[in-house]
Amino acid sequence: MGERMKKPLKCVAIDLGASGGKVIRGSFDGTRITLKEFYRFSNNPIQLKKHIYWDALRLFEEVKKGVGAVGKEPGDTIDSIGIDTWGNDCCLLDKDGNLLENPHSYRDPRTDGIMEKAFEKMSREEIYNRTGVQFMQHNTLFQLYSMVLDKSALLAAADTYLMIPDLFNYWLAGEKCCEFTNATTTQFFDPYQNTWCEPILEAFSIPGNIMPPVIKPGTKLGNLEKWLCNDLNIQAVPVIAVGTHDTASAASVVPAQNGDYAFLSSGTWSLLGAEVSTPVVNKAGLSHNFSCYGGVCDTFLVWKNIQALWLLQECMRVWTKEGLEYSYEDLVSMAGQAEPFGAIIDVDDHIFIQPGDFPARINEFCKRTAQKPPCGQGAIVRCIFESLALKYRYTFERLQDVLGKKLSKIYVIGGGSRNELLNQFTAQAIGVPVVAGLAEATSVGNIMMQLLTLGEVGSLDQSREIVRTSFELTTYEADVTQNWDNAYQRFLDLITRSSTYNQ
């Protein structure tokens, strides 16, 4: 890393997730990185008639407030800015660069039944072999194909296609391009040719001429737009395209020292996977419905999406509307005291895809699968956590099959890494040590990519060394009991019997 300048380098990470966003400044002194959160805001999808949208303009205003808050820090400077968001969702611009409509949420029902129609155009096997992306109804391919089938005037009028972080980078720095890690989530990107997959675009009548160039993570997009500098009263700071897919950023700083591990990015979604040096797209991946997405620094990430704390978030939303105010910590404590190994659910069942009354839906799932529903908030939360741990074991076993090797440890990163009860359940259910920490992994990965781009850090290995030095980790030892093995057999039977099981 060499000699550091006297003044610490200050990089701003904008981390925009499906439930909220935050603006964090990372200070790097040459050895350690320290974080300071300046701004946090909610991200609530907007229901309008039958559709669900993201309020992009409001979110950009929140981003501006966050960057402005960092700029107002006395005696502070900003050396660079980077933004990451979730994957899959997209937007369309007209020829003048104007947003044609607010982006649809990936939970929008417009993709209901679209996968089945898509397979009439191209087989599941061919789509997977060309892209390496797992099949989920919210994939960008199915979002755009739903517009094609609806003969959307917006798609016909579009001049430029962008993913969500690309839209914000365009508003920040004025450059229209798609960053690699997010582009790979679309299911119409070719990881072998490193470009948009023309055979898929043509098969589904998606206009290829609206697709912008794809850039590598670590590309300098230019300086913050002049009007923004004036508006926020800050300097013309460089905007860097980091690993704009939040999981790619998070996975880049998993504090491991060898490659024999899995990562579990735990939050609204859980992403359980591993880092590889070349694309892994094989029969096992197709059979188990795994993705091979792009990572930073010429890596790829083999993983599977699992609906996770989304279920708890929806339960909390319902309870709050009913006047039952519980903190996250309260509910975890109540779950710890609840009776173990009651009802088991499949967190990826179709009934849990769209927002709604999740306590009632859990009850409905249990009745459909001939189980006694959990009674009370603590029992419901424990049901979610135990079911998640069992789904993690199921996915971990299949990840090893896809990779063709055994993995000896799991690193839990992201907000869910603070959940000690779930971490312990995960170690017990799977039977390998679980190392948890780095709750702000996405922001840290965002910042480390900025430092790599600025030449202050030389490699991913150095990034991870800095992370190990800078943040505390907790290890949960595997303590497999017969109870967990019995519960896992129940889980396997459950997903075999459930006619709606979604691999």
Q: Does residue 501 register a pLDDT over 70?
A: no
Amino acid 319: pLDDT = 97
Contacts of 68 by beta carbon, 8 Å cutoff, 6+ apart: 231, 232, 233, 234
Task: Classify domain 251-282+405-482 at the CATH class level.
Answer: alpha beta
Q: Does residue 457 register a pLDDT over 90?
A: yes
**Per mean pLDDT, which range of 67-76, 174-183, 266-275 is the poorest?**
67-76
For residue 46, the surrounding DSSP H or E stretch is: strand 46-48
Per residue in 158-191, pLDDT (tens digit) is 999 999 999 999 999 999 999 999 999 999 999 9
pTM greater than 0.85 (yes/no):
yes
Per residue in 48-57, pLDDT (tens digit) is 999 999 999 9
Q: Is 246 assigned a catalytic role?
A: yes
Per residue in 95-139, pLDDT (tens digit) is 999 999 999 999 999 999 999 999 999 999 999 999 999 999 999
Helix axes 460-470, 441-453, angle to 10 degrees: 130
Paired sense of beta strands 195-196 and 189-190, if any = antiparallel
What topology does CATH give the domain 310-389+484-497?
Nucleotidyltransferase; domain 5 (3.30.420)
Domain 310-389+484-497 in the same topology as domain 9-241: yes
Per residue in 317-363, pLDDT (tens digit) is 999 999 999 999 999 999 999 999 999 999 999 999 889 999 999 99
- Contact between residue 301 and residue 295 where contact means Cβ atoms under 8 Å apart: yes
Helices (H), 27-177: 56-71, 114-118, 124-131, 140-149, 153-157, 164-173
| Amino acid symbol at 430 | I
Domain ranges of the chain: 9-241, 251-282+405-482, 310-389+484-497
Q: What is the rounded average pLDDT for all residues in the chain?
A: 94
Q: How confident is the model at residue 73 (pLDDT cuts 50, 70, 90)?
A: confident
Q: 3-state DSSP: the chain helix, strand, coil percent, rounded to 5?
A: 40, 20, 40
Straight-line distance from the first to the last Cα atom of the chain, in angstroms, rounded to the nearest whole number: 44
Q: What DSSP letter does each residue of 268-300 carry, written as one string? A: SEEEEEEEESS----HHHHHHT-EEEE-STT-E
Determine the CATH number of domain 9-241.
3.30.420.40
Catalytic residue chosen out of the listed positions 89, 246, 346, 348: 246
